[in-house]
Amino acid sequence: MSFNSDQLAEKIKTMNKDEAVELILSIFSTSKNMEIKIKAADLLTHYDDIGNDNFQNIKTVFSNDHHPQLRLKLIDILTACYQKEGITFLKEQYKNCKDGSVRKSLIKKVGEGDLNDSIPFFIDALTDSDFEAKNEAITLLGKSNASEALKPLIDLLHFRNIEIYNSLIEAIVKIGKKGNLQVINENVNTEDLYIKREIPVILGKIKSKESENTLIKFLNDEDPIIRKNSVKALETIIELKNVKYILEHLTDQDIEVRKETIRVLGNIGSKRSITPLLELLKENDAKIRNLAKNSLYKIFTKTQSFEPIYEIAKGRNINARREAIKLLGILKDVNAIDFLISIFNSKVASVRGASYRSLLKILDDKIDNKIVNALSDKSWQIRMFCVKILGEIGDSNTIDQIFNLIEDENGSVRKAAVDAIIKFESTKVMDFAIEALKSPNWKTRRAAVKILLRIRNKDSLNSLISCLNDDDVYIKSWAAMALGKLKNVDSIEPFIQLLKENDDKIRISAVKALGEIGSKDAIKPLIETLGDDNWDVRKEIEKTLNQIDPDWMSYL
């Protein structure tokens, strides 16, 4: 009788269970087509009961046919239909399975039906060469909570297999949490370094107070990995009176132990850690400083006074000052506003920058009168940083105060005011700038021009036309360049007049502007200016003429 897979499935549908089982078993014994055998086994999995008389036949097929896919189907049949007897048979056949996926499935099925009675079997499977099969055995042993599994599981740590590491630690921890610490503690003094390194990890995850003294002793081990793992393990079980043992490792010779110590101290939150952690803000290593700052943040969020941070921020060490200032910002200490404003007078740029960023964090997009009042401070640096802050916050109620600073005597403050004011999306800004163009103060007019240039819409640029007649050479030049960006100017005559200016910069700006406008009406006036005394002006004229019309010489 010969079938393909589809024909077999259709044939089975026409049969009762006994007939179907008989047909399938005959296929197992007579067919040489593995695809048909696998399909037959798949169809057989749909039956919960295929009769005890057929148990031997299934066992025979499993023993004789080693094809992985067929065996996987037969494992399902044996455990579903024969349960205990099937599992007993599979355990006997385990070492006869050469395919890792088959062994993994076999181990898993044994665990589903006979977990606690199969501990020796799972322990034996820990030597499986297939990591997935081994992993399955490890997981099941952890689930069993069998104390006799602890030693063979711990012994596996020696091989440092990354593929099974997480499952292995988890299984040991599960069993250890059931009160089986004795076997784990027997490995505290093991000479196997790879096992010894993981003992603190395991004890830390078990979180038993009984392990505190053991872990404290581990802190003095000569191996840095053991020290680091012990520090981490103590995080959740150490009594505050014993934090001193962890504090000692802030000066550990191994950098990774130091980093772990800093992190753990922050999570423990003991106030005894504040002073030594503040000292670490002086370190040259930026990572150490950052870790210390983060740990201090965690501790200070639970305290009422930040005075120790202020003391460091007032000190001489630049690293420590900068980190302390950052810490005040992270803590959002509103009481630090005046202090941080005063730091804008520092001679150190990085310290000033840290204070600026911390104030932004503290203010959190809200206006504080202390910042507004500081706009009139005698220190130009304070005025400059405070106007920057107001620009970042962007409260339209401060536009008037910021605009007043475009007349400031200090150029950096005026620039900061322009940069700040341009961030406001308000018609009030353009109205102020247009009005400022009429100011007799050249500083005010220059700032107004810069603002209108930055707004860069047609209305703002058109308002600059009056600046083409300004007495200030820079204002004329900037206005000409800006207006040149407009393609539909009403008249190029103002630019033509600028070609006669005495200042070279203005003439060059006018030429560039005419090039941007692109009107052919500019060709003849430009040709007439080709005799300019300044070579740079002549060069720019030729470039512009070619830009407007490559055939400009025909206009001669």
Can you spell out the DSSP letters for 28-72?
A: HHH---HHHHHHHHHHHTT-S---GGGHHHHHHHHHH---HHHHH
Query: What are the Cα distances from residue 494, in Å, to 68, 466, 467, 470, 474?
Result: 90, 10, 10, 12, 16
Q: Are 23 and 11 in contact (CB under 8 A)?
A: yes
For tokens 């803000």, the residue is: 281
pLDDT given for residue 489 in this prediction: 66
pLDDT band per the 50, 70, 90 thresholds, residue 488: low
pLDDT given for residue 486 in this prediction: 58
Q: Which residues fall within 8 angstroms of residue 220, CB to CB, at 6 or more apart?
A: 227
| Closest-CA residue to 246 (of 271, 220, 225) | 220
Look at the domain 484-556 and name its fold: Leucine-rich Repeat Variant (1.25.10)
Q: pLDDT per residue over 71-107, tens digit each?
A: 999 999 999 999 999 999 999 999 999 999 999 999 9
| Closest-CA residue to 27 (of 37, 35, 19) | 37
| Closest-CA residue to 238 (of 280, 259, 269, 262) | 269
Q: Number of helices and strands (H, E) in the chain?
A: 35, 0
Question: In terms of residues, how long is the chain?
Answer: 556
pLDDT band per the 50, 70, 90 thresholds, residue 479: confident
Q: Which residues fall within 8 angstroms of residue 261, CB to CB, at 6 or more apart?
A: 231, 246, 247, 249, 250, 252
pLDDT at 2 over 70: no
pLDDT given for residue 448 in this prediction: 85
For tokens 């026409």, the residue is: 14
The domain locations on the chain are: 484-556
Q: pLDDT per residue over 174-196, tens digit each?
A: 999 998 899 999 999 999 999 99
Q: Which residues fall within 8 angstroms of residue 407, CB to CB, at 6 or more apart?
A: 414, 439, 441, 443, 444, 447
Helices (H), 221-317: 224-234, 243-247, 255-268, 274-279, 286-300, 307-313
User: DSSP state, 127?
Assistant: T
Integer Cα distance of 169 and 167 in angstroms: 6
pLDDT given for residue 532 in this prediction: 87
Using the CB atoms, write b or e for 62-85: b if 16+ within 10 Å: beeeebebbbbbbbbbbbbbbeee
Q: Are 102 and 76 in contact (CB under 8 A)?
A: no
Q: Which residues fall within 8 angstroms of residue 535, CB to CB, at 6 or more apart?
A: none
Q: Provide mean pLDDT across the span 308-328.
A: 97
Using the CB atoms, write b or e for 199-219: b if 16+ within 10 Å: bbbbbbbbebeebbebbeebb
pLDDT given for residue 462 in this prediction: 66
Integer Cα distance of 252 and 470 in angstroms: 69
Mean pLDDT lowest for which of 47-51, 278-282, 443-447? 443-447
Q: pLDDT per residue over 347-361, tens digit each?
A: 999 999 999 999 999
Q: pLDDT per residue over 544-553, tens digit each?
A: 899 988 888 8
In the chain, what is the straight-line distance between the N-terminal and C-terminal CA atoms, in Å?
104
Map residue 254 onto helix, strand or coil. Answer: coil
Integer Cα distance of 384 and 402 in angstroms: 10
Q: pTM for this structure? A: 0.81
Integer Cα distance of 126 and 107 in angstroms: 11
